[in-house]
Amino acid sequence: MKAVGGFLKEKFRDQGKDQSACGPGISMTMPELTDSEFNQLSQLVYQHAGIHLPPQKKELVRSRLTKFIRSRKLGSFQAYYHLVLEDASGLELINLLDAISTNMTSFWREPKHFEFLGQELLPALRQKSKGAPQWRLWSAGCSSGEEPYTMAMVLMDKVNHKDLSGVKIYASDINTQVLNQAQRGIYPISRVEPLSQEWRRRFFQKGVNQWEGFVRVKPEVKQLVEFFRFNLMDSFRFKEEFDIIFCRNVMIYFEKATQTELVKKFYQCLKPGGYLFIGHSESLCNVSHQFAYVKPTIYRK
Ligand SMILES: C[S@@+](CC[C@H](N)C(=O)[O-])C[C@H]1O[C@@H](n2cnc3c(N)ncnc32)[C@H](O)[C@@H]1O
């Protein structure tokens, strides 16, 4: 497999930058996070991202935010809280939300969704569409890109190349760091293990020399996906309606009222007959909504 010049030139320096701040001895200098500081910070995160941080998450918050206390040479979490509040640029808040959001993801995660998409949903949509399809898909809470890229691979596998020219996958997240990774589309080779050998060859380029051990998503896959930063708590003002929305393993971080509001917004921005996919461990059971149930974790407007 040939490596492309741009791939060789890619710089990876900012990958894993956060972890490097956690050097040996960190446990000795970790500042105390009091209950009231935890409450203030979790309230701030809740207000801005809808993410609910129960008291059990206190230790996690402390370990994820300690790097800011150190790098900004602050004496306490109280001082950090005020720094975030008073930062008119909003950058400190972005960094805080980046650090708090949990971004676990993988290619071909929860395979049943991709099987349904490829074997049932796309053929059904294809039958309905007159001329070249103009489908709009959205990976809402896309993390580092594995989910929307898997959606793109399924599309490329099932639909003729020429029929994909009018198709777009939008992919959004609140976390700027994972979005940068997603946009770059470069992954350690171990990340593509869930994909078949054939798909790895078809959809990825292999790194050589200093990029040995990495793969890059091929440009034809990338061009189907458009990444943007978007907070799901914000109002949805999209120009187009969607055919399919994946919002998987995102709502688990939200309270029921926030989930209900979000599901309502998804309903409103889907085309009639459009589909919503949620994570396998999630459910709309206790959420009031207007969707029709298709199968577990798949709903239709
Ligand atoms: C666990 S990942 C799920 C990634 C992918 N959907 C999957 O299932 O593999 C959850 C993602 O939701 C994002 N997220 C959390 N709160 C959000 C919000 N208010 N707006 C947008 N994205 C949010 C996080 O940054 C994170 O990348």
8 falls in which pLDDT band (50, 70, 90)? very low
Of 102, 21, 25, nearest to 68 (Cα)?
21
pLDDT in tens, 131-177: 889 999 999 999 999 999 999 999 999 999 888 999 999 999 999 99
pLDDT beyond 50 at 105: yes
Task: Name which residue sits closest to atom 2 of ligand 1, judged by CA.
Answer: 103
Task: Output the DSSP codes for 161-213.
Answer: GGGGTT-EEEEEES-HHHHHHHHHTEEEGGGGTTS-HHHHHHHEEE--GGGTT
Q: Is the distance from the beta carbon of residue 51 to the nearest atom of ligand 1 less than 6 Å? A: yes
Q: Which ligand 1 atom is nearest residue 105's CA?
A: 9
Domain parsing of the chain, residue ranges: 31-100, 111-300
Q: Select 31-100's CATH number: 3.40.50.980, 3.40.47.10, 1.25.40.10, 1.10.155.10.
A: 1.10.155.10
pTM of the model as a whole: 0.90
Catalytic residue set: 64, 173
pLDDT beyond 60 at 58: yes
How many other β-carbons are positioned within 10 Å of the β-carbon of residue 65?
A: 22
Q: Do domains 31-100 and 111-300 have the same CATH topology?
A: no
Task: Name which residue sits closest to atom 3 of ligand 1, judged by CA.
Answer: 249
Cα 132 to ligand 1 centre (Å): 31
111-300: CATH class: alpha beta
Q: Is the distance from the beta carbon of residue 178 to the nearest atom of ligand 1 less than 6 Å? A: yes
Q: Which ligand 1 atom is nearest residue 48's CA?
A: 19
